Amino acid sequence: MLEAFLASAIAMATPLLLAALGELIVERAGVINIGIEGAMLAGAFAGVAVAHATGGALAGVAAAIGAGVAINAVFAFVAINLAVNQVVAGTAIDLLAAGVTGVLYQRVYGATGRAFTVAPMRSIALGPLARLPLIGRALFDQPALVYLAFALVPAVAWMIGRSRFGLSLRAAGERPEAADALGLGVYRLRWIALLASGVLSGLGGAYLTLAYADTFVEGISAGRGYVALAVVIVGRWNAWGVAAAALMFGGAIALQFVLQAAATALPYQLFLALPYLLTVAVLALAGGRADAPSALGEPYVRP
Amino acid sequence: MLETRSISRRFGRTLALDRVDFHARPGEIHALIGENGAGKSTLVGIIAGRLAADSGQVLLDGVALRAGVSAVALRRARIAAVYQSPMLFERMTWEENLALGGFAAGASPRALDAVAARARQIAAAAGFELPPPRALVADRSVAERVRLEIVRALSFAPRVLILDEPTSLLAPAELKIFLAALGRLRDAGRIVVLVTHKLAEALAVADRITVMRCGRVVTETRAAESGAAELARLMIGALPDAPARAPRDPDPAAPPALALTGVTLVREGRRVLDEISLTVRPGEIVGLAGVDGNGQAELVEAIAGAVKLDAGSIVPAPGGPAVAVIPQHRDRDGLVLEMPLWENLMLAAPLRARFAPHGFFGRAAARRFCAELLGRFAIRAAAGPACAAGALSGGNRQRLSVARALAGAPRVIVAHDICRGLDLGAAAQVRRALAEFAAAGGAVLLISTDLDELLECCGRLLVMVRGRVRETAPADRDPERLGLLMAGAAA
C-alpha cells in the first residue's frame, strides 16, 4: 500500500512540477501568469485529441506543446506588449481555454459524454532499479514525462542561478527599467520565458490526459494550474524548492486517494478538498513576498 | 563625434527638450550643466537610448542611432551611462550586477570570480575600492553603489561614457583619482560627457561646457575661456542669494532639543553605531561630516525609530512628532512616487493628524495646503497637488521632502544628504529653508558628505568615522583638516 501511495504521489506531482517550473521561469522574469491553468487545459485537450486522431502519443505530446505555446503567446502579447494587468489577462485566458475546450469537446465527441480513450503512455522500467522494494515502482517505472519533469529541476536551477540568460531574466524581474537601460531587452526576455512556460504547461496538460486519465473530461485540469502557482510560492521561487513543494502537494493528492479507499465514516468530499486545504494552509504559513521578484506582476512600459 | 540634431521631447504638457543641438568630440571631456529641470537628464536618456525623442536625431560619427535603440545597437555603439538614480539590482550580488554589464558573463561561481577580477582592475585604475566578495547591493552604501555603477559603465569599454551627477558622493581623495581616470579616458580618444551642477568641477575637469536652461542649449563654450560667475548667470539667469546664516551661538543654558547618549547598534557583530553621544540645541545647525557608509544611515534610522538600539537613549523618544527626518534615499524612504503630491504630504503623521483628525481627509483643505506649500517652496509641478511625485524633477522632489518636514512644525530636523544632485539655485533654497527654521528656534542635525555645504551652513561640526562621532575644534574648520579627520586621523 505504501508502494502504491509513493507511485501515486510521484504521478500526481509530475503535472504540478512541469507547470510550476514554467511558472517559476516566468515569475523570475517579473510576470505572473494565472493563465497557466488555461494553458494546461488547452494542452490536455489538444494532446488527447491529436493522439486519438492519429493514434500516436508522441504526436499528442507535440500538439499539447503547440497548444500551450499558442495560449501563452496570446497572453504574452496582451500582458507584455499591451501592458494589460497580468492578473486580469491571465484570468481571461483561463476562461477562454475552459470555454474553447468545452465547446470543441462537445462538438467533436458529442454532448453525450460518450467515453473515448487513448492508449496510455507506457511506463518505462529502468532495468533492475524498477524492482527495488518500495521505491522501485515510484521512481523507476514511470512514463517518460515523469523522468523529464524531474530531470528539468537541476536544469532550470542551473539556468536561473548560473547561466547568463538566467541572470538577465532575474534582472528583468527585479528592475525592468534598469535591465532595459543595460540593453538586456526586457520584452524579449519576458516573451522567451512565457513561450518556455507554454511548452512546460502543455506538457503538464498532456501528462494529465495521455499518461494519467487516458481520456478528456471538461475542466480536467481541475485547478492544478492554480496549485502550481502556490507551488512556486511555497518553493520560494527556486527550482529545488519548487520540486519539494510539488512533491508535497502530489503527496497530499495521493493521500486523499488512500484515505478515500480506507472508507471511514467521514464524507469523501472532505478528502477531495485535502490538497486545496493544504494549499491555503501552506500559503498562510509560508506567507510573505520576501523572496518574490521585486517587479513581479508589474507591466513594463519603455519610457 | 557624438551629436544631437534638433532633439525635442515632451512629457505631458511640459516641453522638456526644445530643438537641442549638442556636440561632444572624441578626446574631450564635455560638461553638461544646468538647473534641475533644465533637461540634462532627458537629453542623456535619449543619447543612451533609454528614452525616445519626439523628433530629431542622435548621431555617432555621422551615423544616426535608431530611437529607442535595441540592445544590440546600444552595445555596438558602445554608449554607456551612469544615471542619476542608481540602476542597480538590489537583491543581486555586486558581481552579478557587473556581469550584466559589459562583461556579459553568466552567474556561475567561476564566471563571477572572473568578473570580480576584471572589475578590480577597472576599479583600481579609477581609484575605487570594491565591496567584499558576494556582497548584496542592498547592503551597500550609496557611495559604494555609485562606484559600482561607474565600474559597470566602464566595463563596456565605452566609446561614449555619460556620467549623470556621479561625483557628489565620492570622498575628496577618491574624487581626485576618479577625475584623473576620466582624463586618461579622454586621452585614449573616448568621448566623456559629465553632467554636473558643480561649476567648479566642470571648470576644473572639462574641456568644453554646454549650458542648458529650460530645455534649451544656452551656450557652448571652451572651459578655459569661461568664468564661474558668468556660467552661473547663464544657468539660472541670476545669482542665488547667499543663505541666511543661523546664529552661531545658541543659548548654552537652553536644554538640548535632541540628545543622544551612548547610542550603540550592533549589526552582524560589528558596532555600526559605537556609543554615540551628541546634542543639538534650539536655534543651532550642527553638521555631521563623514565619508558615506560610516554609520550615518544607521544613525538616521535610529533617530527615526526604525531600528532597535542595543544600548543608549535618544531624547525625544524616536518616532514622535517632535523630530522630522529627511532621509538620504528620498525616492526609496521618503516619497511614494506613484502617489500625488498632496497624498505624499499626508504621509507625515503630524499633517495627517491635522487634516484627518477623525480618520477622514478633508481633501479640499489638504489640497489647498499642498498648493500653498508648492508656492512657498517654489516646487515646480505642472499639474499642481494632483501631480504624481514621480513626475517631479530631483530638485523639486527634494524641496517637497523638506517642505513636508517643515510643515509638521517639528522642533528638530535631521537631514541626511539633502542637497545631493541639486544645482546651485535649488541647493541654496533648501539650505535657506533650514537656516530659517533654525533662526526661528528649531534645531537641525545636517548630515552630509559635502564639506563645503557643512562649512557654509553649520555652527558646530562633528565628524563620524567607523560608527563613532567626535567634536571638532574651531581650528579644524578647514576642508583639508576635516578630510584628514574623516579618514580617521587622530585629533
Q: What would the pLDDT profile of A33-44 be if each residue is shown by its tens digit?
A: 999 999 999 999
Average pLDDT for A241-261:
89
Inter-chain contact B107–A303, Cβ cutoff 8 Å?
no
- Give A28 to chain B, closest Cα distance, Å: 13
Average pLDDT for B176-200:
85
Residues B232 and B298 in one domain: no
Q: Where are the extended beta strands (E) located within chain A?
A: 124-125, 141-142
Residues B90 and B211 in one domain: yes
Checking if the pLDDT of A176 tops 90, the result is yes
DSSP assignment letter at A130: G
Inter-chain contact A175–B90, Cβ cutoff 8 Å?
yes
Checking if the pLDDT of A199 tops 90, the result is yes
Inter-chain contact B88–A302, Cβ cutoff 8 Å?
no
Average pLDDT for B318-338:
81
CA gap B388, B331 in Å, rounded: 12
Q: What is the CATH number of the domain that holds B154?
A: 3.40.50.300
Checking if the pLDDT of B253 tops 80, the result is no
Residues B211 and B269 in one domain: no
Residue B428: the pLDDT is: 82
Domain membership flag for residue B418: yes
The answer to whether A179 faces chain B, any CB pair under 8 Å, is yes
Average pLDDT for B423-429:
76
pLDDT band, residue B246 (cuts 50/70/90): very low
Residues B167 and B310 in one domain: no
From B393, B92, B322, B75, select the one nearest A181 (Cα to Cα).
Answer: B75
The number of C-beta contacts closer than 8 angstroms across A and B is 70
- Measured between CA atoms, the residue of chain B closest to residue A173 is B89
Cell numbers found for residue A272: 477531495
Spell out which residues of chain A touch residue B68, defining contact as CB-CB under 8 Å: 302
Residue B291: the pLDDT is: 76
Residue B430: the pLDDT is: 83
Inter-chain contact A182–B108, Cβ cutoff 8 Å?
no
Please identify which residue in the block is written with the cell numbers 555617432: B60
Average pLDDT for B130-143:
88
Inter-chain contact A170–B89, Cβ cutoff 8 Å?
yes
One DSSP character per residue, A228-241 reads HHHHHHHTTT-HHH
Spell out which residues of chain A touch residue B52, defining contact as CB-CB under 8 Å: 302-303
Determine the angle formed by the axes of helices A57-76 and A186-206, rounding to 10 degrees: 140
Give the residue with greater pLDDT, A276 vs A163: A163
Q: pLDDT above 90 covers what percent of chain B?
A: 28
Residue A76: the pLDDT is: 97
Residue A135: the pLDDT is: 83
Domain membership flag for residue B228: yes
CA gap A106, B373 in Å, rounded: 66
Residue A288: the pLDDT is: 58
Average pLDDT for A88-100:
95
Q: Which of A174, A180, A181 sits opposite B91 (nearest CB)?
A: A174
Mutate to test the interface with A, among B44, B76, B89 (most CBs of A within 10 A): B89
Spell out which residues of chain A touch residue B111, defining contact as CB-CB under 8 Å: 162, 164
Domain membership flag for residue B41: yes
> Which of B63-67, B77-81, B359-363, B382-386 is predicted least confidently?
B63-67
Residue B484: the pLDDT is: 75
Inter-chain contact B70–A185, Cβ cutoff 8 Å?
yes
Checking if the pLDDT of B314 tops 50, the result is yes
Q: Which of A174, A183, A303 sits opposite B92 (nearest CB)?
A: A174
pLDDT band, residue B423 (cuts 50/70/90): low
- Average pLDDT over all residues of chain A: 90
CA gap B143, B169 in Å, rounded: 5
Average pLDDT for A196-208:
97
Cβ B348 vs Cβ B341: under 8 Å: no
Highest mean pLDDT among A145-149, A221-225, B252-256: A145-149
Burial of A54-79, coded b for 16+ CB within 10 Å and e otherwise, reads: eeebeebbbbbbbbbbbbbebbbebb
Chain B residues 90-109 with CB within 8 Å of chain A: 90-92, 96, 99-101, 104-108
Checking if the pLDDT of B239 tops 50, the result is no
Backbone torsion region of residue A30, taken as left when φ is above 0, otherwise alpha when ψ lies between -120 and 50, otherwise beta: left
pLDDT band, residue B71 (cuts 50/70/90): low
Residue A73: the pLDDT is: 97
Q: Which of A166, A178, A294 sits opposite B91 (nearest CB)?
A: A294
Average pLDDT for B374-385:
82
Residues B225 and B288 in one domain: no
CA gap A77, A74 in Å, rounded: 5
Residues B66 and B177 in one domain: yes
- Measured between CA atoms, the residue of chain A closest to residue B105 is A164
**Whole-prediction pTM:** 0.75
Spell out which residues of chain B touch residue A163, defining contact as CB-CB under 8 Å: 106-108
Give the residue with greater pLDDT, A48 vs B381: A48
Residue B338: the pLDDT is: 86
Residues B224 and B155 in one domain: yes
User: Strand B311-315's sheet: what is its strand order?
Assistant: B270-280, B258-267, B311-315
Average pLDDT for A84-94:
96
Average pLDDT for B111-121:
95
Inter-chain contact B87–A175, Cβ cutoff 8 Å?
yes
> What are residue B191's DSSP bridge partners?
B28, B160
Average pLDDT for B445-458:
85
Helix (DSSP H) and strand (DSSP E) numbers for chain A: 13, 2
Checking if the pLDDT of A74 tops 90, the result is yes
Average pLDDT for B237-243:
51
The answer to whether A164 faces chain B, any CB pair under 8 Å, is yes
Domain membership flag for residue B208: yes
Residues B92 and B172 in one domain: yes
> Which of A139-153, B227-241, B323-337 is predicted least confidently?
B227-241
- Measured between CA atoms, the residue of chain B closest to residue A175 is B89
CA gap B75, A184 in Å, rounded: 10
Residues B218 and B267 in one domain: no
Checking if the pLDDT of A300 tops 70, the result is yes
pLDDT band, residue B94 (cuts 50/70/90): very high
Q: Summarize pLDDT for A177-192 with one digit per residue, the tens.
A: 999 888 888 999 999 9
Residues B144 and B211 in one domain: yes
> From the centroid of its chain, how far is CA B76?
31
- Residue-range definition of the domain harbouring residue B10: 2-236
Average pLDDT for A261-290:
76
Residues B222 and B303 in one domain: no
The domain total for chain B is 2
Residue A170: the pLDDT is: 96
- Give B409 to chain A, closest Cα distance, Å: 36
Residues B72 and B162 in one domain: yes
- For the CA atoms of B153, B158, B164, B165, the dihedral, rounded to the nearest 10 degrees, stands at 70
Checking if the pLDDT of B76 tops 80, the result is no
In angstroms and rounded to an integer, the radius of gyration of the C-alpha atoms of chain A is 19
Cell numbers found for residue A94: 483561463
Q: Summarize pLDDT for B386-412 with one digit per residue, the tens.
A: 888 888 877 788 888 888 988 888 999
Residue B376: the pLDDT is: 82
Could you tell me the sign of the dihedral formed by the alpha carbons of B319, B321, B327, B333, in that order?
positive
Q: Where are the extended beta strands (E) located within A46-201?
A: 124-125, 141-142
